[in-house]
Amino acid sequence: MSSLQPVRGTHDLLPKEMRRHRRVIELARETAERHGYLAMATPIFEFTEVFKRTLGETSDIVTKEMYTFTPSERDGSAAQSITLRPEATAGICRALISNGLQQELPLRFFYHGPMFRHERPQKGRQRQFHQIDIELFGVAEPAGDVEVIACGQMVLEALGVADRTTLELNTLGDPESRGAYRQALVDYFGRHRAELSEESRDRLERNPLRILDSKDEADRRLVAGAPDFADYLTPAAADFFAAVRQGLDDLGIGYKLNPRLVRGLDYYCHTAFEFTTEALGAQGTVMGGGRYDYLVETMGGPPTPGVGWAAGIERLAMLLRVEPPAPRPLVLVPIGAVAERRALKLAQDLRRQGFTIELGYAGNVKKRMSRANKLQAPAAVLFGDDELAKGEAQVKDLATGEQQAVKLDDLAHALRRFA
């Protein structure tokens, strides 16, 4: 059994790493709640159709990266294909439709949890990874985009990592703009078809905007000379993007325009953005999002504007400069059989009053005090037969070494200064 290891692309969140993980979630949730975003959750798996509709049947995620299976149905009904969620937005949109929430718009949701993609594992990229996510439904105005980006910026500030990131911003325009730009890309890359990678030649037929994402060096050289989306924006789309930029300027949120930042599927429109960093090597995106006004409609719901972002918890945790501290418990050190029996109830009484209590169940006084020091406990409570006969315990300040007798009835009050 000693050879057992986690499945490739997964890892254990041991207490030290879990503290970082929890800090990201808790600060993000608190920040999102101040913006009016309420926590919700969807199942870890959905019917596969949910993701095929939203991510595109020919996308890399759907064709190469999803964990899909067909469970056996014990009731004899036909089994349907199930997929572990590769991202959160599709499930949240499905929940919006399934629960008839369109009558309650606008809606703001905060979300966190594990996602699953069959990718090549590397630093900051696992096959089971975790994300935080916010989604704003029912706001078609540019102010919605500004709010979502500002919330993301404030999350990064709360985590103390905003100065290590850069906001990159682009517009995908409206459907008319996107159609004109798509044709311009087809015309441009079509003239250089022979120079494109095999993958990009395939994308030229299906989704030419994805060529702008290519990591192939030859493709990158061609991309550098590709037309800019800004030249194909309708006046309405240009005005929308100008309003988003003005809103960010008004809030003092700096950004860098990146005309190559795109989203390949047709339900995306207007704003696309990413917060990127150079501190994590190749995995430079820590938060990304944009507007998707046609996604809910694509899934069979009524037209519903939407905008949001997702951020990788593992990547944000790696950026934290300060190690979240471990709890520092108060340690009970009973001496003798009678004290051992009394210690369990005393520990529970103190925990009910809000104290973090460590109680060892074996070992002499020296061994237990050694463990107290290892846990960086601020104080130890020692008591044996003599102390119990007097209704007392000895409280030892482990920072100064000072020790004093305290009545058991007054113990909680005496320990407050160490909590």
Which residues have a Cβ under 8 Å from the Cβ of 289 and sit 6 or more positions away? 148, 149, 152, 272, 273, 274, 307, 308, 309, 310
The one-letter code for the residue type at 399 is A
Helices (H) then strands (E): counts for the chain: 15, 16
Tell me whether the CATH fold assigned to 15-174+234-319 matches the one assigned to 330-418: no
Cα separation of 170 and 261, whole Å? 6
* Mean pLDDT across the chain: 91
DSSP state string for 148-215: HHHHHHHHHHHHT-GGG-EEEEEE---HHHHHHHHHHHHHHHHHTGGGS-HHHHHHHHH-GGGGGG--
* 115 strand-pairing partners: 129
pTM metric for this prediction: 0.89
The pLDDT value given to residue 1: 45
Domains in the chain: boundaries: 15-174+234-319, 330-418
Measured CA to CA, the distance from residue 54 to residue 298 in angstroms comes to 7
| Angstrom distance (rounded) from CA 336 to CA 116 | 52
Return the axis-axis angle of helices 175-191 and 198-206, rounded to nearest 10°.
Answer: 140
243 CA to centre of own chain: 28
Cβ within 8 Å of residue 274, ≥6 positions away:
167, 168, 258, 261, 285, 287, 288, 289
pLDDT of residue 360: 81
Looking at residue 61, its pLDDT comes to: 65
Q: Tokens standing for 83?
A: 């997929």
Alpha carbon 40 to its chain's center:
13
CA distances from 411 to 205, 333, 336, 339, 353 (A): 75, 14, 20, 16, 11
Q: Where would I find the H helices in 353-392?
A: 365-374, 385-390
225's tokens = 């000379």
- Residues listed for the chain: 419
pLDDT on residue 60? 63
CA distance linking residue 345 with residue 332, whole number of Å: 11
User: What does the pLDDT look like over 106-146, one tens digit per residue?
Assistant: 999 999 999 999 888 877 788 999 999 999 999 999 999 99
| 87 contact partners, CB below 8 Å, separation of at least 6 | 51, 55, 61, 115, 131, 310
Q: 15-174+234-319 has which fold? A: BirA Bifunctional Protein; domain 2 (3.30.930)
Cα 133 to Cα 135: distance, rounded to the nearest angstrom: 7
At position 97, the amino acid (one-letter code) is I
The residue whose two tokens read 């808790």 is 26
User: What's the CA gap between 361 and 275, in Å, rounded?
Assistant: 49
* pLDDT tens figures, 204-240: 887 888 888 788 888 888 888 899 888 999 999 999 9
Please give the chain's pLDDT, 419 residues, in tens. 457 898 999 999 999 999 999 999 999 999 999 999 999 999 999 999 898 877 765 566 666 788 888 877 665 556 788 999 999 999 999 999 999 999 999 999 999 999 999 888 877 788 999 999 999 999 999 999 999 999 999 999 999 999 999 999 999 999 999 889 989 989 999 898 888 888 888 888 878 888 887 888 888 888 888 998 889 999 999 999 999 999 999 999 999 999 888 876 778 899 999 999 998 877 689 999 999 999 999 999 999 999 999 999 999 999 999 899 889 999 999 999 899 999 999 999 999 999 999 998 788 889 999 999 999 999 999 999 899 999 999 999 999 999 999 999 999 999 999 98
235 vs 176: CA distance, rounded Å: 11
Please tell me the distance from the alpha carbon of residue 200 to that of residue 202, in angstroms, as a whole number: 5
What does the pLDDT read at residue 59?
A: 61
Does domain 330-418 fall under CATH 3.40.50.800? My reply is yes
